Amino acid sequence: MTGLRVGIVGLGAQMQENLLPTLLQMPDIRIVAVCDSDRTRAEQINRFVSNVMITDSFDEMLASARLDAVVMACPPQAHRDLSFKAMAKGVHVFVEKPPCFTLDELEALITASNDAKVVTGVGMNFKFAKPMQQLRKMTSTEQFGQTVHVQLNHYASKPTSPLWGLDSTLRSFLLAQAIHTIDLGVTFGGGELRDIESRVQRHGDSLLVSLELQFTTGASVSLLSGTLFPYFEFDMKIVSSNSMMVELNNLWNITMHEPEHGTSATGTAKRWRGAWQPGPLDSGYERSGYFGELEKFFHAVRTNTAFEASFESLRATYKVIESICDAAEQNLALSA
């Protein structure tokens, strides 16, 4: 199948700044229709592409644009509701994160996607960011050994009030921000989740969330996140059974610490380390994962295979989110 017919939904900031420019770089993708509930927004597509159907009605787009796939960047309730409609018509679906609000809603989306036999995808771009792909390669080598522990620090300063009509700032934060980091913890932890422990501290409108995960592989994941920080930062360390430690700073540069450094020029002296950075000429979309996620999603559509960041892949992440929210509610009830 060449020249996939794609409809885009929600021409807001994320679509215009990241997803649309990435889609326009893909030779086999034809953007044939645009839908935004705000029609003047939808009309902004004329700045980027011509000869496109423009509508504020998703039903109209589905009925007449003969789509292979839709790519959406809307609020989660639209991702959820419009995904059901698209899947029922056999249209493949890619939505920005988060795809929905709760684990129950995610289960319903998974069931619908299995029934419709469509490929689903969620914009978990951190997972496809170039340094993260490099990290995944490094940690899957025999020399690195088994992942024993993953430490994740995801510092954020927002949201400090509920989003998308929700009544919980905590759930909004977990769905808007921590979803990326929890998903990385689940990905690098490997195997099945065995145990989840969490603690939420509230300071004014800000939150501090600490999380410990145990996996059937024996690996543990420790995550510190929240909105109490001055600005966004993301760091990660992975420790292996061979006493290697690999460190990712700010989703950018990787440092590999080994008991013995492999470069002969350094001799036998201890405490040398190896460093990796993305190439200075790599495109921003490639580095930040938008190109990788969409390229792999459309590859899955063409080959009728599952995409790694499918609705189903987020089941464990949503279990963790529900567990954090439940534990925080019980704590609030106990302290009331």
Q: Which is nearer to ligand NAD, 41 or 130 (CB)?
A: 41
Using an 8 Å Cβ cutoff, are 78 and 10 in contact?
yes
- Smallest distance from the beta carbon of 72 to ligand NAD, in angstroms? 8
| Least distance in angstroms from the C-beta of 269 to ligand NAD | 41
Residues forming contacts to ligand NAD in the complex (CB under 6 A) are 9-15, 35-38, 41, 58, 73-76, 78, 96-97, 123, 125, 176
* 74 vs 223 by CB, closer to ligand NAD: 74
CB atoms within 10 A of CB 269: 7
DSSP state of 188: H
Which CB atom, from 37 or from 217, has the smaller least distance to ligand NAD?
37
Residue 270 CB, shortest distance to ligand NAD, in Å, is 39
Token pair for 200: 């939420």
Length reported for the chain: 336
Distance CA 323, CA 197 (A): 8
Closest distance between ligand NAD and the C-beta of residue 58, in Å?
6
Written as one letter, the residue type at 56 is D
Closest CB 212 distance from ligand NAD, rounded Å: 25
The SS3 of residue 324 is helix
User: For residues 329 and 325, what is the distance between their CA atoms, to the nearest angstrom?
Assistant: 6
User: Can you tell me the distance from the alpha carbon of 53 to that of 263, in angstroms, rounded to the nearest whole number?
Assistant: 57
Q: Is 279 helix (H, G, I), strand (E, B) or coil?
A: coil
CB of 96 to ligand NAD, least distance (A): 3
Q: Which is nearer to ligand NAD, 92 or 97 (CB)?
A: 97
Query: Please, what's the b/e burial string for 300-310 (b: 16 or more CB within 10 A of its CB; e: otherwise)?
Result: bbeeeeebebb
Residue with the shortest CB distance to ligand NAD: 12
Structural tokens at position 184: 């990385």
Closest distance between ligand NAD and the C-beta of residue 73, in Å?
4
Whose tokens are 């423009």? That residue is 54
- Terminal Cα distance for the chain, rounded: 59
> Looking at beta carbons only, is 97 or 261 nearer to ligand NAD?
97
Give residue 33's identity as a one-letter amino acid code.
A
CB of 225 to ligand NAD, least distance (A): 14
- Nearer to ligand NAD by Cβ, of 207 and 244: the residue is 207
Q: Closest CB to ligand NAD among 19 and 245?
A: 19
In the complex with ligand NAD, the residue whose CB is nearer, 158 or 257, is 158
The closest of 182, 218, 189, 6 to 103, measured between CA atoms, is 182
- 315 contacts 192 by C-beta, under 8 angstroms: no
Does residue 268 sit in helix, strand or coil? coil
Query: Cα separation of 175 and 126, whole Å?
Result: 14
